[in-house]
Amino acid sequence: MVFAVSDPAALLDDEPVQPWQYDRSRAPVAVKVLVAGGFGVGKTTFVSSVSEITPLRTEAVMTQAAAPTDDLTGTPDKHTTTVAMDFGRITLDDDLVLYVYGTPGQERFWFMWDDLVRGAIGGLVLADTRRLRDCFPALDYFESCGLPYAVAVNHFEGSQAYDVEDVREALTIPPEVPVVIMDARRRATVVESLLTLVGHALDATPE
């Protein structure tokens, strides 16, 4: 299924005014999706780029105590980390609002995923081609709980570009699971990846 919006350009405005915001008889349907992936893969940036409200962040400054468990090899400039979740909202159409929850990436916070996944229609797994192994826990989690998911490769500046099918093969992703290339800093590509996820979720669980 191809998921389309009535006015895609409106998604790129800073604060688009939707009909339901002034016509309360047209209350929108609200759905929830998760954005998961490894440590430092860009989940907080992803949510911040797309949210039409000020995003909720639960970031803490990284200390030396975390050095043995948080590998900064691929992200040497990272100084903060998400300790609970990120939260944002985007209106995809006149009657559909998407609530986007970013999960914490470190293993010691994975216990929160069971609470965050409740009520979600799908999950988006962010992948960094320099550290593909870091996204396997999220892939395994969504597979185990039966949640429809898609994979979004966050292309970092300076990293090698790969074709979608190369990424699919490296991660052994089934052919029915969408894989997209995006940049978490660019709102347009983030919107496209969310549209892909919602369309896939509708195909997988039309009810």
Beta bridge partners of 39: none
Alpha helices in the chain (DSSP H): 19-22, 43-50, 113-116, 136-145, 164-171, 187-204
DSSP string, 67-125: TTTS--SS-TT--EEEEEEEEEEEEEETTEEEEEEEPP-SGGGGGGHHHHTTTEEEEEE
Average the pLDDT over 96-107 and give the result: 84
Contact in structure between 41 and 134 (CB atoms under 8 Å):
yes
Burial 119-133 (b: 16+ CB within 10 A, else e): ebbbbbbbbbbebee
Q: Would the pTM of this model clear 0.85, i.e. be above it?
A: no
Query: Greater confidence, 161 or 20?
Result: 161
Q: Which of these ranges, 3-17, 44-58, 171-185, has the smallest mean pLDDT?
A: 3-17
The reported pLDDT for the residue numbered 92 is: 84
Contact in structure between 149 and 177 (CB atoms under 8 Å):
yes
Contact in structure between 49 and 188 (CB atoms under 8 Å):
no
Mean pLDDT of the chain: 80
Query: Greater confidence, 64 or 37?
Result: 37
The reported pLDDT for the residue numbered 17 is: 54
Sheet holding 96-102, edge to edge: 56-61, 80-93, 96-102, 29-37, 120-127, 149-154, 179-182
Q: Which of 30, 133, 124, 139 is nearest to 86 (CA)?
A: 124
The reported pLDDT for the residue numbered 9 is: 46
Q: Does the pLDDT value for residue 20 go beyond 50?
A: no
Q: Does the pLDDT value for residue 64 go beyond 60?
A: no
The reported pLDDT for the residue numbered 39 is: 84
Where do the domains of the chain lie?
Answer: 27-61+81-204
Beta bridge partners of 86: 57, 102
Query: Greater confidence, 147 or 108?
Result: 147
The CATH H-level superfamily of 27-61+81-204 is P-loop containing nucleotide triphosphate hydrolases (3.40.50.300)
Q: What digits encode the pLDDT tens for the residues 116-144?
A: 899 999 999 999 998 899 999 999 999 99
Average the pLDDT over 180-200 and give the result: 95
